[in-house]
Amino acid sequence: MGDRIKRELKTLETMVHMYCRKEDHGDEALCDECSELLRYAVRRLESCRFGEKKKICGKCTVHCYKDEYRQRIRLVMRTVGPMMIYRHPVMLLGHAVDMLRY
């Protein structure tokens, strides 16, 4: 697994944890629903056929997420995305670079 995929995994994990806490699903540990979403998203990212040269998932031509999970991950990103500016600006910057690069 390359550095880019590892960085995306870390960003994804951080966002799901922030979402779960914000929505009062759990204190430190993820609730079952958020844990399931994170496991699904990690499996999808690890098995991406484009590997290190992949676009960001929102711009990809191949939608590998089931519709239910795609809606849930969009909700997470829409809810937590603006908070990333203040809490994790370096992660957000890495994502922005990926958006422009690929």
Q: What is the DSSP string of 2-47?
A: -HHHHHHHHHHHHHHHHHHHHTTS-SSSPPHHHHHHHHHHHHHHHT
pTM of the prediction? Answer: 0.84
**pLDDT above 90 for 8:** no
Q: What is the pLDDT of residue 26?
A: 65
Q: How confident is the model at residue 3 (pLDDT cuts 50, 70, 90)?
A: confident
**Each residue's pLDDT tens digit, 30-48:** 899 999 999 999 999 888 8
